[in-house]
Amino acid sequence: QVQLVQSGAEVKKPGASVKVSCKASGYTLTNYDINWVRQATGQGLEWMGWMNPNSGDTGYAQKFQGRVTMTSDTSINTAYMELRSLISEDTAIYYCVRNAPFTGDFDYWGQGALVTVSS
Partner 1 sequence: QAVLTQPSSLSASPGTSASLTCTLRIGINVGTYSIYWFQQKPGSPPQYLLKYNSDSDKRQGSGVPSRFSGSKDASANAGILLISGLQSEDEADYYCMIWHSSAWVFGGGTKLTVL
- Spatial distance between the Cα atoms of 87 and 109, rounded to a whole number of angstroms: 25
- Of the candidate residues 1, 62, 75, 119, the single one contacting partner 1 (CB under 8 A): 62
- Of the candidate residues 51, 80, 112, 117, the single one contacting partner 1 (CB under 8 A): 112
Q: Which residue, 73 or 105, has its beta carbon nearer to partner 1?
A: 105
Q: Which residues contact 67 (CB under 8 A, 6 or more apart)?
A: 83, 84, 85
Q: Judging by DSSP bridges, how do beta strands 68-73 and 58-60 pair with one another?
A: unpaired
- For position 73 contacting partner 1 by CB under 8 A, the verdict is no
- Spatial distance between the Cα atoms of 72 and 53, rounded to a whole number of angstroms: 6
The total number of residues written for the chain in this structure? 119
- For position 61 contacting partner 1 by CB under 8 A, the verdict is yes
Q: Which residues contact 55 (CB under 8 A, 6 or more apart)?
A: none
Binding range to partner 1, per CB under 8 A, among 7-15, 70-78, 83-91, 110-118: 110-118
Binding range to partner 1, per CB under 8 A, among 7-15, 40-48, 69-77, 82-90: 40-48
Q: Which residue, 18 or 97, has its beta carbon nearer to partner 1?
A: 97
Give me the torsion for CA of 4, 111, 86, 58, rounded to 10°. 30
Residues at the contact surface with partner 1, assessed by CB under 8 A: 35, 37, 44-47, 50, 59, 61-62, 95, 103-107, 109-112
